Structure 1
């Protein structure tokens, strides 16, 4: 009996270590990320069979139904090669619910107990990932102005660091989520030196947020902080609003972020090169909506919707074909892929998560749901590796019982 209990403890310890690696996943190159997820799955499976746990099929089905609806669109997708590549990228949406459906209560309790450590891992990973390329880039080209650095660093981390490359909008998302985690950590820790360290790390994070100057994540962060303050610290809500207003003022005073937001006042369709990102998105949305009108109920299928978008760009805005833009809005993307059927199934999943989180006072889950919910208005985060993996990990992790 002691040997069996010892084995179970080892398996659970391995799961804890694996989850630490998952929270630090951005420090791994893209080809290693899947290996870390596979190793975690193996540890969870071993623990599942050794503990004779019951598979939580209700949790699994409620969290993956929309993914099966997405798979249904394979039936009317002509380009199956593209379809399967898309499905492969989005597999985290079914893999992580499966992992969490296999966890026993003891493993869940251990993971919840270590959540602050996981937050630290994630926050430090965000800082390290940003700082190393910055210092590397800066040491190589020391004569750039700050504006020059901010412009070229974004291209550098996207195009010049190989399998570590990441689009600035996803790096901005990581920075914003690290800020959300930091609030929880700051209120949990007691030692002064840890609080000082956390503040320093967040100053570094805000520095990079200003460099990337991505509107979507910044808007999502501000909205999330407002809701988080109201739900978690209602007594001090008005004081927190002052701090949030100060944050907004900071973003508005820095030229890189201010100019980004000023783009919103000059939105129009574009057919020429050099247009602002807001104009490009506005044009994409118009083309997407026109396509949706022609196939509102079932969409075009996971393999064909991008081709249909490209045809629309060819007709209305050929300049957009150069980068083969997707819909840049996950909700429009789902409508294009699977029509109203897919979007409603996803919104049903999302709405149930929010309701359950609110009933159980799970403010961290609500915050993550709000952040991603707003960000999906600007980006197809579930169709890109750096978006979907962390979305699936965080949504399922913070859905653990008693997780707050």
Structure 2
């Protein structure tokens, strides 16, 4: 049954980027298999590691009670169901011997499937333009995954590879260089900055731990990013017309996606509901009401979220929910420092910075990947 769980989890991760329904099915089957392992093989759970995720989800679920839109509330909870299920699955996986090497194998297959779809997207775009022009403005889209969300998969693969102690050849280094290039091509700016910051911190930790491979790899990654920046061979993802729209404002209200203004709007909504938030069912409507009140038509038409997961959580379930969410990152960070776990350290720092400009948990892929990977890396830190 342990092997069956590994295969099901691998399937879940691989299809997550192209078939969200399949990932949801895989998550359900993994949960069922984990329960069977608990019953028949007496697998012991480390319950202490589960409480931050459980506390966050229980509070999110409870917010249905103070949400006026029950249907939206139910849908919002369903999107984040992974915060309840995946830490449980990760706990059982780690208890039955699932390792980070196994995760890397599954992740490589996931990226392989992803690149096939991305290659088709780029090929189709090239029918009307050059390859470089096809990248500008393109998500290099997977069917259901935004660029910023997919970049998390790539960053994790780089971190796992750099922290691995197994021997790799020249082709492996070429692969990692290609991954760094892909980060630049996708142009998720906060993801790139978060990756650079986490890599710098990881390089410092590598000096302390005397990990030459991670130190060299982190320095090489930073140099590559600088070369890509200086070369400027990938054009901006905004075309000229959109760029002009971004720079235009009217009476102090942006006419485009201004994250600072979105944060101001979110903070205003939270200010009226500090303790418990507005509830998972009403959060988007309350934000839209705020946009309408100040005349922020660009955000209102698109029903923009807060574009900051910390603020999004605070608006949704208040300061208590925010504390639970922060604990999901702070506790693994403490474990990483205690165990000198460079991989966990880099991942937590990276994702903690990346969510400053994206509300990842409002989409299935964001909640799925962050809850699953963070818990799995945390639960396996003693074997790192």
TM-score scaled to structure 2, two decimals? Answer: 0.86
Could you tell me which runs of 5 or more consecutive residues in structure 1 were left unpaired when the two chains were aligned: 1-10, 159-163
Instruction: Identify the residue that residue 9 of structure 2 maps to in structure 1.
Output: 19
Instruction: Identify the residue that residue 348 of structure 2 maps to in structure 1.
Output: 369
CA distance in 2, matches of 1:356, 1:132: 37
Quick one: which of 218, 240, 256 aligns to 2:192? 218
Query: CA 1:78–1:29 in 2, change beyond 3 Å: closer, same or farther?
Result: same
Q: Where in structure 2 are the equivalents of 1:71-110 lying within 5 Å? A: 71-102=61-92, 105=95, 107=96, 110=97
Quick one: which of 89, 102, 106 aligns to 1:121? 106
Instruction: Identify the residue that residue 157 of structure 1 maps to in structure 2.
Output: 141
The reply to whether residue 180 of structure 1 matches residue 182 of structure 2 is no
The reply to whether residue 308 of structure 1 matches residue 286 of structure 2 is yes
CA distance in 2, matches of 1:290, 1:309: 9
CA distance in 2, matches of 1:200, 1:377: 31
Q: Where in structure 2 are the equivalents of 1:291-370 lying within 5 Å? A: 291-316=269-294, 317-370=296-349
The number of aligned residues is 371
Query: CA 1:225–1:76 in 2, change beyond 3 Å: closer, same or farther?
Result: same
Assess if the C-alpha contact under 8 Å between 1:100 and 1:396 holds in 2: yes
SS at match of 1:119: helix
Instruction: Identify the residue that residue 178 of structure 2 maps to in structure 1.
Output: 204
| Bigger mean CA deviation after superposition, 246-255 or 296-305 | 246-255
Query: CA 1:357–1:229 in 2, change beyond 3 Å: closer, same or farther?
Result: same
Assess if the C-alpha contact under 8 Å between 2:6 and 2:93 holds in 1: no
CA distance in 2, matches of 1:99, 1:388: 15
Assess if the C-alpha contact under 8 Å between 1:74 and 1:302 holds in 2: yes
Task: Deviation per CA, 1:161-204: give whole Å up to 9, x if none.
Answer: xxx3211111222222222222134xx33253xx51x2333343
Assess if the C-alpha contact under 8 Å between 2:12 and 2:27 holds in 1: yes
Q: Where in structure 2 are the equivalents of 1:245-284 lying within 5 Å? A: 245-255=222-232, 271=253, 273=255, 275=256, 277=257, 280-284=258-262
SS at match of 1:153: coil
SS at match of 1:399: helix
Task: Identify, as 1 or 2, the structure richer in helix.
Answer: 1
Instruction: Identify the residue that residue 5 of structure 1 maps to in structure 2.
Output: none
CA distance in 2, matches of 1:387, 1:341: 21
Query: CA 1:133–1:283 in 2, change beyond 3 Å: closer, same or farther?
Result: same
Instruction: Identify the residue that residue 38 of structure 2 maps to in structure 1.
Output: 48
Could you tell me which runs of 5 or more consecutive residues in structure 2 were left unpaired when the two chains were aligned: none
Return the offset for 1:329.
0.2
Query: CA 1:121–1:354 in 2, change beyond 3 Å: closer, same or farther?
Result: same
Return the offset for 1:58.
3.1
Assess if the C-alpha contact under 8 Å between 2:198 and 2:350 holds in 1: yes
Assess if the C-alpha contact under 8 Å between 2:198 and 2:349 holds in 1: yes
Assess if the C-alpha contact under 8 Å between 1:123 and 1:182 holds in 2: no
The reply to whether residue 111 of structure 1 matches residue 98 of structure 2 is yes
